[in-house]
Structure 1
Amino acid sequence: MLRSCCVSLTSLCLLLPANTLRAEDWRYVLRAGVATASRYSGSTERAVVPLVGGEIVSPYGVFLDTEKGLGWAFDEDDFGLSVYVGASDVRKDRKTGFKGSDELNGMGSIKPRPVLGLDGTYQMGPIILGASLQHAMEKDNDDHDTGLSWNRLKLSISTPFYEGRYGTVTGSLNSQFGDRNYMRTWYGVSDAQASRSQFRAYDAHGGLVSRGAELTWAVPINARWSVSTVMAVQYLGKEAADSPIVDRRLQGSLAGEVVYSF
């Protein structure tokens, strides 16, 4: 859930540089802020975590982003496409700093592994349709319950509600889907995990992960500085919500960030 906040802010930045990718100069972005979100998807525990990151975009569309990874973006007229290689989300079964929860003791930590991503956008007037597909590779020599390869698809629709002297307010709706391995990794409880933890065994099947909404307020201060705030909610689908690790079906997050571009 914490990473979802970061990804939301990063996605906002990637939607903006349509003209940047055609520019003759390199573009650099530094971001700093703070977010509050659930410690893991379905948790009632919350954490406040600092957000620090950056992005480099070359004149040829190649970018390096601390959240997404290394990739290439193409944007022309109403169509945008980006591909990238990065690292997957993580989940710890111990409360460690800003991450993890002791409630997951015995479940095993979900460790990062390489992720291949493909994002696309299509604009129809004021409406932007988006699709994001991620494939996480299997982690070798890892626990079979937490190191499986998985696929996740996110579909979204967004539109600006306000554009004026106080910045831009954009609203969006989204649905997320995961295959069986994704659901087993993040919401399933195997017999081995059940024997080590407080949870009963649960065999999760692929399908709808969640439906959600986001509201983003971006305020430019000058040509280089801007401030953005993202409020997001996710309502877990039945297959995820029935998991014994899920205590709350409705998940919310709030993030604020200062952005410096040069």
Structure 2
Amino acid sequence: MSSLSNCKCLCLSLTSFGLLIGAEPLPADDWHARVQAGIAHLPRYSGSDERVSAPLLGVQITSPYGLFLDSDKGLGWAFDEDDFGLSLYVGASDGRKDRKSQFHGSDALNGMGSIQSRPVFGLEATYPLGEAILGATFEHALKKDDDPDTGSAYNHLKLSISAPLYKGAYGELLGSLNSQFGDGNYVRTWYGVSAKQASHSQFRAHDTHAGLVSRGADLSWSLPINEQWSVSTVLALQYLNGDAADSPLVERRWQTAATGQVVYTF
């Protein structure tokens, strides 16, 4: 659900949004590390009108030959050239609790059952088109258990195009547009309501099908302080579509989020 690009530690709606713009793959000629800390203000789950402010902590380590460890994506390998970029990774999917617990979940989901995190395999590709960059991210989450409502394997695809809007004395401003799609299991897991779930929750039953989940836009600003330190902010907007938008779980189709963080690179 990744989602405005996606922070696993929050286990909130970032799966749907893909909120955070991760570091670009670095040339595989040396070790590089990036540590970031900040705060995010976002919905408690995709479609919620409840909001939460939660801490953000992340680290990315890139080794020679393209191997990387990313607290958001997981463990993987990246290939990056001037005309094409590709990365493969294994990580953990997001989850969703059916009760409010600190920065996670919502009591409004009581009776829906929690969606547990499970292993996910990802494939990400980028292609430059002038100053713009076309991107595609495909993720396959493995089956968690035999519960078809919360434990099914599912597939998620995000297509995006991003471009620099400004670069100068006040940092760099990037804009991005994206569309997100899910297979039948994905849409049912995150937006469907089965007869069983309806009998245990406040929601009516809602059948779902594969298709477009959302369309959105991100605006990212980064300001270097020196060679190692920088600050960045991201504003993200998503509009839920199709069966996801019609879900009784969705209280607001327009979903907005904002993050601010300090980044240290070495």
Residue 120 (structure 1) aligns with = 125
Query: Quick one: which amino acid aligns to residue 31 of structure 2?
Result: W
Residue 32 (structure 2) aligns with = 27
Can you list the C-alpha shifts for 1:73-132, whole angstroms capped at 9, x where unaligned?
000112111010000011000000000000000000000000000000000111100000
Q: Structure 1 unaligned runs (5+)?
A: none
Can you list the C-alpha shifts for 1:155-179, whole angstroms capped at 9, x where unaligned?
0011100010111100010000000
| Change over 3 Å in CA distance of 1:191–1:5 after alignment to 2 | closer
Counterparts of 1:52 and 1:5 in 2: how far apart (Å)?
19
| Change over 3 Å in CA distance of 1:145–1:4 after alignment to 2 | closer
Normalised by the length of structure 1, the TM-score is 0.94
Q: Which of residues 100, 105, 118 in structure 2 aligns to 1:95?
A: 100
| Change over 3 Å in CA distance of 1:165–1:6 after alignment to 2 | farther
Query: Quick one: which amino acid aligns to residue 89 of structure 1?
Result: D
Query: Quick one: which amino acid aligns to residue 12 of structure 1?
Result: G
- Asked if structure 2 preserves the Cα contact closer than 8 Å seen for 1:21 and 1:58, the reply is no
* Count of residue correspondences: 255
1:51 counterpart SS class: strand
Residue 8 (structure 1) aligns with = 19
Normalised by the length of structure 2, the TM-score is 0.93
Residue 56 (structure 2) aligns with = 51
Residue 3 (structure 2) aligns with = none
1:184 counterpart SS class: helix
The Cα of 1:2 is off from its aligned counterpart by: 4.0
1:21 counterpart SS class: coil
Q: Confirm whether residue 150 of structure 1 aligns to residue 150 of structure 2.
A: no
Counterparts of 1:5 and 1:37 in 2: how far apart (Å)?
12
The Cα of 1:12 is off from its aligned counterpart by: 3.0
Q: Confirm whether residue 255 of structure 1 aligns to residue 259 of structure 2.
A: yes
1:191-202 residue pairs with structure 2 within 5 A? Answer: 191-202=195-206
1:108-187 residue pairs with structure 2 within 5 A? Answer: 108-140=113-145, 142-187=146-191
- Asked if structure 2 preserves the Cα contact closer than 8 Å seen for 1:7 and 1:67, the reply is no
- Asked if structure 2 preserves the Cα contact closer than 8 Å seen for 1:5 and 1:37, the reply is no
- Asked if structure 1 preserves the Cα contact closer than 8 Å seen for 2:194 and 2:207, the reply is yes
Counterparts of 1:132 and 1:51 in 2: how far apart (Å)?
22
Q: Which of residues 200, 204, 211 in structure 2 aligns to 1:207?
A: 211
Query: Quick one: which amino acid aligns to residue 243 of structure 2?
Result: E
- Asked if structure 1 preserves the Cα contact closer than 8 Å seen for 2:17 and 2:238, the reply is no
Q: Which of residues 66, 69, 79 in structure 2 aligns to 1:64?
A: 69
CA RMSD of the aligned region, Å? 1.3
- Asked if structure 1 preserves the Cα contact closer than 8 Å seen for 2:192 and 2:206, the reply is yes
Counterparts of 1:7 and 1:63 in 2: how far apart (Å)?
19
Residue 79 (structure 1) aligns with = 84
Deviating beyond 3 angstroms after TM superposition, the runs of 4 or more aligned structure 1 residues are: 4-8
1:216-231 residue pairs with structure 2 within 5 A? Answer: 216-231=220-235
The Cα of 1:238 is off from its aligned counterpart by: 2.3
Query: Quick one: which amino acid aligns to residue 211 of structure 1?
Result: R
2:27 counterpart SS class: helix
| Change over 3 Å in CA distance of 1:5–1:57 after alignment to 2 | farther
Can you list the C-alpha shifts for 1:142-198, whole angstroms capped at 9, x where unaligned?
532100000000000111000101111000100000000000000000011000000
Q: Structure 2 unaligned runs (5+)?
A: 1-11
- Asked if structure 2 preserves the Cα contact closer than 8 Å seen for 1:184 and 1:205, the reply is yes
